[in-house]
Amino acid sequence: MEIEITICQAVGFARRYGWTVAMNGEDLSCPIAQVAFGYEPELPYYTEGNLVCGMYTETLEAGAVTEQNIPKFTKEESGYYVAFPLDRAPLDPDVVVVYGNSAQVMRLTAGMLYKRGGSIPSTFSSRADCADIAIKPLKTGEPQVILPCYGDRLFAQTQATRWRSVSCFPMRKNWCTVWKVRIKAASDTRFPHS
């Protein structure tokens, strides 16, 4: 594309326009994602919490804790980030992301838990959801339910009224099959409209 964009914009292009977007550190404009995806090292300015303090946290100390909690790839783990719609998949995805309202994500969660039971632990930080979408499921091997972050809302224009929650899951555990089997049963459940 010969322009720099954010990872959340790449996901938005795939979701909204059906585009396939491949990018690495040279194509990425977001300094937070540069560090999270292993394209750039964690500099003291970053680890001390300076990028977080003031907007997301009250103090540098709290900012440092927030930065430390972002899932990260090492330089050796980094590579290309490729976003595409599943119906036009040019390759087998490592992670699948499903945007939906709270009822849709609840049904998807029920489907993922149908055989194993339990719950899906998730974390929310209001920033760097690209790391929660891609890195966390790959590192843990577990699905994740997240909320779109400020960048996702601002740069990718994910709307609060339409997209409220995101479910992402690693493909190696075949979560899609579980979801497809269970979603039919869940579709018989009716919810009152607001």
- Nearest residue to 71 via CA among 28, 105, 98, 35: 35
Average pLDDT over residues 149-161: 68
Q: Please identify which residue in the block is written with the tokens 């690495």.
A: 24
For residue 140 the two structure tokens come to: 């843990």
Q: To the nearest whole number, what is the mean pLDDT of the chain?
A: 81
Task: Determine the straight-line distance between the first and last CA of the chain, rounded to whole angstroms.
Answer: 42
Strands (E), 41-191: 81-83, 95-100, 144-146, 165-170
d(CA 140, CA 168): 12
d(CA 42, CA 51): 12
For residue 151 the two structure tokens come to: 């960048």
pLDDT digits (tens, 9 = 90+) for 19-38: 999 999 999 999 999 999 99
Q: What's the Rg (C-alpha) of the chain?
A: 17
Least confident of 25-39, 49-63, 120-134: 120-134
Q: Are 37 and 78 in contact (CB under 8 A)?
A: yes
pLDDT digits (tens, 9 = 90+) for 91-119: 888 888 887 777 788 888 888 888 889 99
Count of residues making up the chain? 194
Percent of the chain past pLDDT 70, that is, above it, reads 78
Least confident of 98-107, 141-150, 153-162, 168-177: 168-177
Average pLDDT over residues 119-147: 84
Q: Are 85 and 21 in contact (CB under 8 A)?
A: no
pTM: 0.81
Q: Are 19 and 9 in contact (CB under 8 A)?
A: no
